[in-house]
Structure 1
Amino acid sequence: MTTTDPTPALRISGPADLLQAIPYLLGFHPARSLVLVGLADARLVVTARMDVDDLADEATLRHTMASMLRGGARTLVVAVFDDDPPASGTGPAWQGLPADLRSRCAEAGVAVGVAADVADVLLVARGRWWSLRCADPGCCPPEGHELPEAPPVVAAATYAGLVALPDRDSLGALLDPVADTDREAMVPHLAAAEREAGEARTPVLRRRWELRQRRALLTAAAAADSRTVDLDVAVVAGFGVALRSIPVRDAMWAAADGGRIDGRPLWRELARRLPSPYDAAPLFLFGWGSWRHGHGALANIACDRSLASDPAYSAADLLL
């Protein structure tokens, strides 16, 4: 798995800055969440979020950490967002968390074959924050530190075009499908596109058909990267059928991975307009692109929906 710089550069000067940047890195304000920020050479690689209750599931956390390490992260900073007020600063419920997370990270590193560690574990509760690894009251007082109301990092994130939506449901709404009637209207066009694809019966004709689809998709993806594109219903249907072809899908995957296209605007448009199971491929491609750009939460939402559309769509398992 390769990665790219996930967002426009944000200058992070310390834990408070990182904590207030996290909603913009995720795309929404987390609540009762465990957020993992993956770094490599002080550069953000990827973020991931889990429900606090999922901490009881060791396999889920270990799998998430391993996925981040495979994506290039080597150091993790973990932030717990929980508005239950902590007792004595760190709160007894979280006292053992840093050692536990470091142990699980080390296990994930062994599984992936890399050296990895958790640099810090931070707790955010009701406008204050604590470092759970710091026992120095001069540095980390028992009452914690107050989060500033309008830090420069938030202004920088907003200026860079980053958005923090109210919650995870609001983030997921970015991928909500169009009206059922609009999706149903796609059915005859999909049937026509399937008939056209089926006419390529010989290996030579099939390769020619795949090449045409790849070229058309690359052109549309490049156009959608730079401006809003209004796609005709027949074009959307044709792309939906084309992306059911593994060679065509893989060509788009490779093009995005190699930086030839971003692709996410087109994949989002297709995912919202195509009915199941045709939306599975664009949802996966959108999820992959989101993961490469550091948006682990949105990637997970996209891949969850890809598998809900087509439970046999195994590529989506790569990001879960």
Structure 2
Amino acid sequence: MTTSTPPGISRATLRNPADLIASLPYLLGFRPADSLVLLGHRVPGTTIGLMLRADLPARELQAEQADALIPRFANREHNGVTVVLVGGSADENGPPHREFLAELQRVLARHSLRLFHALWASEIEPGAEWACYLDPDCGGVVPDPQETVIAAATTEAGFVVFRSREELAAVLQPRCPEAITRRAELLASSPEPLYSPGMSRSDVLDAAVTELRDAFLRQRRGAGPPDDDQAVRLAHALMFTPIRDACMALAVPPHTSLTREAEEVWLTLVRELPPPHRAEAALYLGYTALMRGEGALAGMALANAVEADPDHMVAQLLQTAWNIGTDPAKLAGLADLSTAVDLGLSPPSEPGSGAERDRGRRSGPPRGMR
């Protein structure tokens, strides 16, 4: 999987390898276990760029995985990589997975990429053992991840850390498979649920705007997921190009209360709509998460969009950009504001707004919309 550095925290100082290891859950969005984590260093300096996480491979697949992952850093944006291997136990010879590190070093050298650091940790938990592969005197115990600089920065920005990648993936699963089946049948038999005889295209677009605005208002009231009729109408509302541009425009600037609220609305619709209509909501969720720096969620959402509609060109293009580690700042202008409609949304009131309640809900294991 790929992820990206959350905007606004890339200058947070990681003072030593222990801090870097402890910060991984906040950089990835979940606690990696039995994993290889590759952190690219951007040119100039050592700002974190592309990040990749993969399961530790079987020994016979180590060379293949190194050949597949390292070349993704071989571009003008990166000048080297930090390697972190998570899992296993050290022995009298040092950290485990040394053969795998050798394969990674082989491919790094082939692409003239610098190995900034090679680190190992048994797990990302307070007190877990960690060590450096290239310096036998470098090592110690992992500090509390919640006390790192990155933790403070990401918590302030509203990010959530899940206990595992599986827990993060679960937030995209349908809330009710039976409802998805019902709505697929309704959508197949209701080609124009927003249209009534005599309505112009402008009238239909106005109806679509109303449906979407009502979805946000229900979110603020904590009214729960849409019913079948609302879901069907929203599925069609999202298909209008001016609506798409307006929805994507809500992702910029990131870290606003309206952006966080929009992310929750898109997540709700990903869980409530059948394919291929789900692709639109998953696209908006992926773009919003990417702009906020929630790279793991962005990747899963974009994969969800492409799975729901393999011919969705915008989802395909954005997934490709995410997959090669494109700086989110370069994607800020993706929405075409010239054709976007005004959704008539103002930021939710503070304090005690729906958005604030949702942020609290996202701080723990998935429940409700998460």
TM (norm. structure 1) is 0.71
Q: Deviations over 1:24-77 (max 9, x none)?
A: 3323221221223456666656644222327624574257547xx89x877653
| Matched residue, 2:173 | 176
**TM-superposed deviation, 1:313:** 2.8
| Counterpart code for 1:230 | G
| Matched residue, 2:327 | none
| Counterpart code for 1:88 | N
| Matched residue, 1:279 | 278
**TM-superposed deviation, 1:239:** 2.2
Indicate conservation of the 8 Å contact 1:5/1:45, yes or no. Answer: no
**Aligned CA distance change for structure 1 residues 192 and 296 (closer, same or farther; 3 Å):** same
Q: Deviations over 1:152-207 (max 9, x none)?
A: 229747965654433211111111111122223434664686314567999xx446
Indicate conservation of the 8 Å contact 2:162/2:168, yes or no. Answer: yes
Could you list the runs of 5+ residues in structure 1 that have no partner in the other structure?
107-115
Structural RMSD (CA):
4.3
**Aligned CA distance change for structure 1 residues 129 and 51 (closer, same or farther; 3 Å):** same
Q: Deviations over 1:106-127 (max 9, x none)?
A: 6xxxxxxxxx865323222253
Could you list the runs of 5+ residues in structure 2 that have no partner in the other structure?
324-370
| Matched residue, 1:99 | 105
Counterpart Cα distance in 2 of 1:43 and 1:223: 40
Indicate conservation of the 8 Å contact 1:128/1:145, yes or no. Answer: yes
Indicate conservation of the 8 Å contact 2:266/2:281, yes or no. Answer: yes
Counterpart Cα distance in 2 of 1:45 and 1:210: 40
Q: Deviations over 1:68-98 (max 9, x none)?
A: x89x877653322132546622443144255
Indicate conservation of the 8 Å contact 2:89/2:95, yes or no. Answer: no
Q: After TM superposition, list the pairs within 5 Å mapping 1:119-130 onto structure 2.
A: 119-125=116-122, 127-130=128-131
Counterpart Cα distance in 2 of 1:104 and 1:6: 33
Secondary structure of the corresponding residue to residue 28 of structure 1:
coil
Indicate yes or no: 2:93 matched with 1:88: yes
Identify the structure with the greater helix proportion.
1
Secondary structure of the corresponding residue to residue 31 of structure 2:
coil
| Matched residue, 2:224 | 230
| Counterpart code for 2:141 | E
Counterpart Cα distance in 1 of 2:85 and 2:297: 19
Q: Deviations over 1:258-303 (max 9, x none)?
A: 5485221111000001112211221222122222222322222222
| Matched residue, 2:53 | 49
**Aligned CA distance change for structure 1 residues 43 and 62 (closer, same or farther; 3 Å):** closer
Counterpart Cα distance in 2 of 1:294 and 1:74: 22
**TM-superposed deviation, 1:254:** 3.6
TM (norm. structure 2) is 0.63
Counterpart Cα distance in 2 of 1:201 and 1:131: 72
**Aligned CA distance change for structure 1 residues 151 and 236 (closer, same or farther; 3 Å):** closer
Indicate conservation of the 8 Å contact 1:35/1:47, yes or no. Answer: yes
Aligned partner (choices 231, 236, 244) of residue 239 of structure 2: 244
Same amino acid, percent of matched pairs:
25
Indicate yes or no: 2:250 matched with 1:255: yes
Q: Deviations over 1:224-269 (max 9, x none)?
A: 5x77453542333222223234453244224314548522111100
Counterpart Cα distance in 1 of 2:79 and 2:238: 34
Secondary structure of the corresponding residue to residue 166 of structure 1:
coil
| Matched residue, 1:61 | 69
| Matched residue, 1:15 | 17
Counterpart Cα distance in 2 of 1:264 and 1:75: 33
Secondary structure of the corresponding residue to residue 38 of structure 2:
strand
**TM-superposed deviation, 1:19:** 1.0
**Aligned CA distance change for structure 1 residues 250 and 27 (closer, same or farther; 3 Å):** same
| Matched residue, 1:111 | none
| Matched residue, 2:191 | 194
Indicate conservation of the 8 Å contact 1:38/1:75, yes or no. Answer: yes
Secondary structure of the corresponding residue to residue 195 of structure 1:
coil
**Aligned CA distance change for structure 1 residues 289 and 194 (closer, same or farther; 3 Å):** same
Secondary structure of the corresponding residue to residue 78 of structure 1:
strand
